[in-house]
Structure 1
Amino acid sequence: MQVSSALLISALLGTALAAPSPVQTKGHAVTLDLIAGQGSANGGMNFNGGAKGNRTFTVPLGSQVTIKFTNMGTLAHSFVIRKGGAAPTDADATDAVFPAAYAPARVEVGIKSGMHQQVTFTAKRAGSYYIVCGVPGHAMAGQYIRLMISKTAKVASFQ
């Protein structure tokens, strides 16, 4: 069995390897790896381990954004990018603030565990938005995080 040298050094030094970033920026193209049900945070009702708006993707204004959506949870999940403001209690495709900023087409049904979907849209308006699960009851349970489209950011980030 081969072990990578980075893994071996990490094990010998007692350090953890950093998880890969869920954001990539290349020119005006941004890729976000959006993962539903990542771990047990908020009872599995989370995106990338965040819930109730406690994590934020930041994207530069004008970026072409590709969201690679994966469901790692045990339940079906979806996502819709909707306006910010008061905490969301639900979401459907008509709430999407940008064309194609949701998946799957029937957000109320979601995708099953282990499935993937990909969408691309242009971040045309700066502001604060939510990424919300559209499966009934999930937003109310806290399955939403934030998306900031920033006039000043040069690269995408996740905090």
Structure 2
Amino acid sequence: MTFALMYTYLLSMKTILKIGLSLALAVAFVIPLSARTVDATGGSGVKEIAVSSRGLAYDVSEIRVNVGDTVRVTYTNGGGRHDWVVDEFEGAQTDVIRAGQSQTVEFVADRAGSFEFYCSVPGHRQAGMFGKFIVVE
């Protein structure tokens, strides 16, 4: 193998590795977690709900509770700076927290309807970091 051919080969391998690494990072931060629905409409007492995130996605796409329920959400941030917010209920907002941190909020779901929980960091909601918060009668 000549020097020129070997040099060309090494450059192309380096390019392939850079592209592969870029794709792996893009997948890690863009593809959402396998989202789940939390149905907490059964039983009585405080409804304990755990929500986490990675990249720009929550691991929960929908939360269902009964009207009048006291809801306790523990949000764990898996990366970046995020929060968890439902505008319609007093106390239903965490602070913006760093990766690896958790925060718990407690509030009363005092009216029925379909609402949205989301990350209030600019651009995150628009990028898909939101879900449904449904309160049933």
TM-score normalized by the length of structure 1:
0.58
Structure 2, gaps ≥5 residues long: 1-36
How many Å separate the matches in 2 of 1:35 and 1:76?
12
TM-score normalized by the length of structure 2:
0.67
Matched residue count: 100
Report which of the two has the higher share of helix: 2
How many Å separate the matches in 1 of 2:46 and 2:116?
20
Q: Deviations over 1:89-138 (max 9, x none)?
A: xxxxxxx211111011xxxxx21000011110000000001111011110
Identity of counterpart residues, as a percentage? 27
How many Å separate the matches in 2 of 1:23 and 1:33?
12
Q: Which has the higher contact order (CA 8 A, sep 6+)?
A: 1
Runs (4+) of structure 1 moved beyond 4 Å?
21-26
**Alignment match, 1:127:** 113
Radius of gyration: which is bigger? 2
Give 1:79 deviation, angstroms: 1.3
Q: Structure 1 residue 67 and structure 2 residue 73: aligned?
A: yes
CA RMSD between the two structures = 1.8
How many Å separate the matches in 2 of 1:34 and 1:23?
13
1:76 to 62, 76, 81: 81
Q: Deviations over 1:54-98 (max 9, x none)?
A: x211011110000111101x21110111xxxxxxxxxxxxxx211
**Alignment match, 2:88:** 97
